[in-house]
């Protein structure tokens, strides 16, 4: 009799969607984004004016943020495959490679222990 009760409780719990179904009031963490090189544009001249950087790839969400040299930049979500970011003149004042990556947010609600996820890193060249 105890075995039957345990089996029924297990079946009931699994059937209610309580384990791994994604049901609940919170939002799940976004998966890892990916940048498809090249960035657009992918180079700038040192000392040039501010511009909008276009980042193409996959796995972007409305809360994704473009990071320029490890600093978050004002980011606009276009599609799950494209973001744009505001790059200031100060960001391209000095020559050298600049690492760019995208960060998707961690989860909230019942999934708040999910970590934020970073994309691969792509270098932008300031000449």
Q: How is residue 45 written in tokens?
A: 């001249």
**Residue 55 included in any domain:** yes
Instruction: Sort 19 into a burial class: Cβ within 10 Å, 0-12 / 13-18 / 19+.
Output: exposed
What does pTM read for this prediction?
0.74
**Residue 85 included in any domain:** yes
Domain region containing 108: 26-126
Nearest to 53 by CA among 6, 85, 10: 85
Cβ neighbours of residue 15 under 8 Å, at least 6 residues apart? none
Total of domains in the chain: 1
Ordered per-residue pLDDT tens for the chain, 127 residues: 555 444 443 334 444 443 333 333 344 456 789 999 899 999 999 999 999 999 999 999 999 999 999 999 999 999 999 999 999 999 999 999 999 999 999 876 554 667 899 999 999 999 9
State the CB neighbour count (10 A cutoff) for residue 79: 9
**Residue 6 included in any domain:** no
CATH of the domain at 50: 2.60.40.10
């Amino acid at each position: 009799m105890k075995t039957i009760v345990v089996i029924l409780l297990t079946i009931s719990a699994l059937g209610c969607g309580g384990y791994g179904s994604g049901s609940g009031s919170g939002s799940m963490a976004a998966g890892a984004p990916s940048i498809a090189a090249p960035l657009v544009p992918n180079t700038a001249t040192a000392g040039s004016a501010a511009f909008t950087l276009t980042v193409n790839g996959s796995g972007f969400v409305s809360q994704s943020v473009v990071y320029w040299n490890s600093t978050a930049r004002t980011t606009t979500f276009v599609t799950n495959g494209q973001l744009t970011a505001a790059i200031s003149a100060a960001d391209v004042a000095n020559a050298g490679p600049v690492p760019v990556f995208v960060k998707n947010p961690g989860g909230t609600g019942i999934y708040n222990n999910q970590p934020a996820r970073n994309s691969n890193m792509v270098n932008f060249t300031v000449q």
